[in-house]
Amino acid sequence: MAFARVVSFEGVSKERIEQLKSEISSDQPPVDIPAKELLMLYDPDSQKSLVVLQFDTEEDYKRGDAALNAMPSDDTPGQRTSVARYEVAMRMTM
């Protein structure tokens, strides 16, 4: 079963989103963040963002969660307001 780490942020500027897009454009995630998929949602009107990272296993989730929690706040899109863990019940690409 896959797991998702869903993080919400406030105070996210359009410039910061553009900066993150260029920084995260590599094909491989960092070795300590074994995510299989990244989805970043952004609402420029409210300057809010949601980041969803999908992991194949619970162990991968735990490793990635620990690494992400240890990151300096300067590396995040904005002010982190929540972090939640979900089981991926269904995923479909259309």
> Which pLDDT value is given to residue 73?
78
Taking the C-alpha atoms of residue 31 and residue 56, their distance in angstroms, rounded to an integer, is 14
Q: Residue 27: which pLDDT band, with cuts at 50, 70 and 90?
A: low
Residue pointed to by tokens 């990635």: 64
pTM equals: 0.90
> Which pLDDT value is given to residue 8?
97
> Which pLDDT value is given to residue 44?
97
DSSP per-residue codes, the chain: --EEEEEEEES--HHHHHHHHHHT-SSS--TT---SEEEEEEETTTTEEEEEEEESSHHHHHHHHHHHHTS-GGGSSSEEEEEEEEE-------
Stretch 27-37: mean pLDDT? 83
3-87: CATH, from 3.40.50, 2.60.40, 3.30.70, 3.10.450: 3.30.70
> Which pLDDT value is given to residue 26?
64
